[in-house]
């Protein structure tokens, strides 16, 4: 109870209540009309419920919508950092591990003229694509070393509470993190049994299917919000074997 009486909200409430009482008292001494005071007091109490309803239904929703936009903005910043640190490099290795990479790359050559429909179609194709995985030990060892160097970075991303707002991107992070863990726990990647090779191929397929889809979604976000960033992303598209940061025309 002592904490309640000492809280700033209780003190402000008492000050406002005292100010209201003082106002009604002054009104009574001037006009000597208690009947008039209570009529308006009851009317004010009646409107109070409508006022609360207005705050709950409209103002609270507006604030929640504004807060959600702020969270999504921060989330897209996190996604951008992920691609800068890890995602772009993984996509550059795409054709090293996906045997039929050319079939998908021709479908996701992001063009500056693309509209929302084009991005949706590309994402749909990326999600339904049948990824045929190649098990190349030398390249897989390089991938393991790269992911190992980014282990702390991936852990920090997974600890970010903002990711709770995007299950899709969280699943992508878990897929990449799991692949990194699977590779790190093996002392050697050579002479593995067939069953284990199949298991690692599944992990690679899971990671790449998610990262390609997320890259397309992120590129569409850049086109809507940051055209100058999208211009660079389209030029250096890691899924384009002929990509170049140089502006041609």
Q: What is the pLDDT along the chain (249 residues), one digit of tens a residue?
A: 555 556 777 788 788 778 877 887 887 777 777 766 677 667 676 677 777 777 777 777 777 777 777 777 888 888 999 999 999 999 888 888 888 888 888 778 888 888 999 999 999 988 888 999 989 999 999 999 999 999 999 999 888 888 877 889 999 999 999 999 999 999 889 889 999 999 999 999 999 999 999 999 999 999 998 998 888 888 888 888 777 888 776
pLDDT at position 19 is: 80
pTM assigned to the model = 0.73
d(C-alpha 8, C-alpha 72), whole Å: 33
The rounded distance, in Å, linking the Cα atoms of 146 and 158 is: 18
Task: Taking each helix axis as running N to C, give the angle between helix 8-31 and helix 34-54, from 0 to 180 degrees, rounded to the nearest 10.
Answer: 140
| pLDDT at site 6 | 61
Question: Measuring CA to CA, which residue among 4, 24, 27 is closest to residue 14?
Answer: 4
**Can you give the pLDDT at residue 146?**
94
């Amino acid at each position: 109870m002592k904490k309640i009486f000492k809280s700033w909200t209780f003190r402000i409430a008492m000050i406002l209540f005292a100010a209201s009482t003082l106002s009604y008292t002054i009104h009574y001494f001037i006009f000597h009309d208690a009947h008039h005071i209570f009529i308006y007091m009851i009317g004010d109490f009646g409107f109070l419920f409508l006022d609360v309803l207005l705050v709950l239904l409209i103002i609270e929703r507006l604030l929640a919508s504004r807060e959600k936009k702020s969270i999504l903005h921060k989330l897209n910043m996190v996604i951008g950092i992920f691609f800068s640190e890890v995602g772009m490099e993984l996509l550059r290795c795409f054709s090293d591990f996906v045997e039929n990479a050319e079939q998908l790359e021709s479908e996701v050559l992001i063009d500056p003229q693309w509209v929302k429909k084009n991005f949706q179609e590309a994402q749909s194709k990326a999600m339904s694509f049948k990824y045929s995985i190649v098990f190349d030990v030398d390249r897989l060892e390089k991938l393991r070393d790269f992911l190992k160097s980014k282990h702390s970075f991936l852990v920090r991303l997974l600890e970010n509470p903002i990711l709770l707002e995007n299950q899709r991107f969280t699943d992508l992070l878990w897929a990449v993190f799991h692949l990194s863990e699977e590779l790190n726990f093996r002392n050697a990647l050579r002479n593995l049994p067939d069953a284990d090779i199949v298991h690692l191929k599944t992990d690679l397929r899971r990671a790449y299917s998610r990262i390609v889809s997320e890259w397309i979604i992120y590129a569409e976000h850049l086109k809507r919000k940051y055209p100058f960033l999208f211009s660079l992303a389209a030029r250096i598209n890691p899924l384009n074997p002929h990509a170049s940061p140089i502006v041609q025309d």
